[in-house]
Chain A
Amino acid sequence: MYNAKYIIPGIIFFLALAFVPVVYNMGHKFEVTPELPRDQKDCVLPTQEMRDKHMQLLNEWRNEAVRDGSRIFVNAKGQKYVKSLTNTCMSCHPDKAKFCDRCHDTVGVAPYCWDCHNLTPDQKSPIPPVAQAATGGH
């Protein structure tokens, strides 16, 4: 082998790069445990759907509530909810750090929800879907 003094470090550098994730994760146990509400069993949609598509739902909610004034969401079971991140979602999942962030941080997602929304809901349970209660979390 010729020019080994350049090529071997080059190869080692290349392999080292490839093994960065392996070394980085060494000794860590990978676990994702968002804290789930104890007193509620069902979310607005089935769990798997919420896991995959909550961002889509929230995006729709925001657009419909803010732009069209449509503030009531009816799910497949006919249950009604106010379209509100703070007052509906966070009434069951009150602690962003223990629920939202657990997954978001895990996969490096930083949604901009809380650029606007506050973190302290004033409700302890989902508010009934009545017109006068349909206040946003702002």
Chain B
Amino acid sequence: MAAFYSFLAVLALIVIPWLGVGMGMGALFGIVLPYIAIIIFLVGFTMRIVDWAKSPIPFCIPTTGGQQKSLPWIKFSPWDNPYDKKGVFMRMVLEVLCFRSLFRNTSVKLQQEGPKVGYSSEKSLWLFALIFHYCFLLILVRHLRFFMAPVPYPVHIAEFMDSILQIGLPVMYQSDVLILVGLGFLLARRVFDGKVRYITLMQDYFPLLLLLGIVITGVWMRYVVKVDVIAVKELAMGIVTLHPHMPKAAIDPSVYAHLTLVCALFIYFPFSKLMHMGGVFLSPTRVVPNMSRRAMWVNPWNDPSIKPHSYAAYEDDFREKMIEAGLPVEKKA
């Protein structure tokens, strides 16, 4: 049901601009909506981070994934159990760029014979998640060709590498295929893996379907209808140079559908789980070094009025018995 509603929502986000543009609302979907989306995205994203930052990290609670640094002759894990900022930096690099934690993933198998509980390495989620995220990044970088004039060299490189197989014309981007594979896998496990289906909510299906919608409309524009990219760039450049205007040449409605889906993603982003993009950099079990035995970690709301049950009160309670047992006391009975 959640998947179905998500699908309907994405479908609406395609159909509405498609029809709207036909009715002469090109500027609404091509100019107004993108501005609104960008503003909501940037302001919303920043506000979410600031909101998180308003709460302190009261305790130093890294999840230690390797040997601590203790005795000099014991080899420690500087990245899985960092004790300083340098180590944390590397831990975060591995986490963000290589999905280190997900790489550890295992799958449990229960064998009644024995019985035996086995754990096999399970890297498919890691692999497809990595494929999806890197393709998304690459596609984002590639799209800068529409937003920057002249097209910067790194974007050329991205473009060149991504189409290096020179299949078809316009040349096929490998990332277009791979992102579909990645998203397809992520969606398929939500649908077919019972455990994952059980925990999946509408807000898990929706972004996946939204992204699929974006990719499919993009593929449609490039490989099927072959839209006028110069006109598209004119529209895009109008937006980024803050001189928005509709291009002279007509643009295929699929472009507006694509653009509207992207705007929907931008608007949805700050209010959703997609904020894991920013959140991972603030996760207290990852970004904090394992240092609280080495040095002081300060809790801003530490309450100094909390005192232990005092020794004096303890001795008052048990003095007789302590004396009898030959234990030293502070005050004689």
| In the bound complex, CA of A18 to CA of B43 (Å) | 12
Known: A30-B237, A51-B230. A24 touches B169 (CB 8 A): no
Q: Which one of B18-26, B116-124, B140-148 is at the interface?
A: B140-148
> How many A residues are at the interface, by size bracket?
35 or more
Partner of A22 from B151, B155, B240 at Cβ < 8 Å: B240
**Contact assessment for B42 and A25 in the assembled complex, using a CB-CB cutoff below 8 Å:** no
**Contact assessment for A30 and B45 in the assembled complex, using a CB-CB cutoff below 8 Å:** no
**Contact assessment for B152 and A4 in the assembled complex, using a CB-CB cutoff below 8 Å:** no
Partner of B169 from A4, A10, A56 at Cβ < 8 Å: A56
Q: In angstroms, how far is the closest chain B Cβ from the Cβ of A50?
A: 10
**Contact assessment for A7 and B237 in the assembled complex, using a CB-CB cutoff below 8 Å:** no
Taking CB as reference atom, which chain B residue is nearest A29?
Answer: B241
Q: Given the complex, which residues of B lie within 8 Å of A103, measured CB to CB?
A: 230
**Contact assessment for B156 and A21 in the assembled complex, using a CB-CB cutoff below 8 Å:** no
| In the bound complex, CA of A103 to CA of B208 (Å) | 34
**Contact assessment for A110 and B50 in the assembled complex, using a CB-CB cutoff below 8 Å:** no
Partner of B227 from A25, A30, A52, A110 at Cβ < 8 Å: A52
Partner of A3 from B53, B149, B159 at Cβ < 8 Å: B53
Q: Given the complex, which residues of A lie within 8 Å of B282, measured CB to CB?
A: 7
**Contact assessment for B166 and A112 in the assembled complex, using a CB-CB cutoff below 8 Å:** yes
**Contact assessment for A110 and B49 in the assembled complex, using a CB-CB cutoff below 8 Å:** no
A53 contacts B by Cβ under 8 Å: yes
Q: Which one of B54-62, B104-112, B197-205 is at the interface?
A: B54-62
Question: Which residues of B come within 8 Å of A, CB atoms?
Answer: 38, 42, 45-46, 49-50, 53-57, 144-152, 155-156, 159-160, 166, 168-170, 225-230, 233-234, 237-238, 240-242, 249-250, 278, 281-282, 300
